[in-house]
Every structure is written in C-alpha cells, then in structure tokens.
Amino acid sequence: MRPRAVTPPETPPADLSDTAAVVRYLGVLVNRCERGLLDVKIANAVTGLVNLLLRGLSQTEMLARFARIEAAVAALPAEQAADVRDELAAVRAASETRQ
C-alpha cells in the first residue's frame, strides 16, 4: 500500500489570515489533489476545517464592516443618523441570530 501524500513537514504554514488568503489556499489544495500530491482523504479533512475557518472569518469581516459603518453614521447630524442607526441595529441583530 502506497503511503498517503501529505504536505512535507518543512512547508511553511499557509496564510489563513483573511477570506482571500483562504480561497487561494483552497486553490493550492485543489491543484495538489488533482496532481496526486495530496491524498484525497487528507484534502477532505482539511477542506472541512477550512470551511469552518471561512465561516468565522466571514463573520469577523462583516462585524468589522458594521463597525466602520456605525462610526461613519455617528459622524452624521443627529436627525440623519437616527434612521440609519435603527436600520443598522436591525441588520446587526439579524446577522447575529444567524450565527
């Protein structure tokens, strides 16, 4: 039986810092798997973990966007900001219940 193809231990860790980096990493995995350089079972396990990571990164990135929008709204005159604040609060609450 042939040993499973795995990433060599001297390979530096992948950049998984943001969604775009994770998507690039998935592309590398697909290419390695297609060429037989990575065992399919290992690729499946890593893909499951990466999907969890993507979900977490997506939430983090969305909350950061909300924070930037809320900061911009805080700079608006009170009358303009009130309506926008209410709408943002509703969107934030809806996104937090979907987690």
CA separation for the pair 40, 33 (Å, rounded): 6
Q: What's the pTM?
A: 0.66
Q: What is the pLDDT of residues 36-67, one digit of tens each?
A: 888 888 999 999 999 999 999 988 988 898 88
Written as six digits, the tokens of 92 are 């934030």
Task: Write down the mean pLDDT value for the chain.
Answer: 86
Confidence of residue 99 (pLDDT cuts 50, 70, 90): low
Four-point Cα dihedral 40, 46, 48, 50, nearest 10: -140
Tell which residue, 32, 24, 44, has the closest CA to residue 5.
Answer: 32
3-state helix vs strand vs coil in the chain, percent to 5? 70, 0, 30
Q: Is there a contact between 33 and 40 (Cβ–Cβ < 8 Å)?
A: yes
Domain ranges of the chain: 19-97
Q: What is the token pair recorded at 41? A: 């079972």
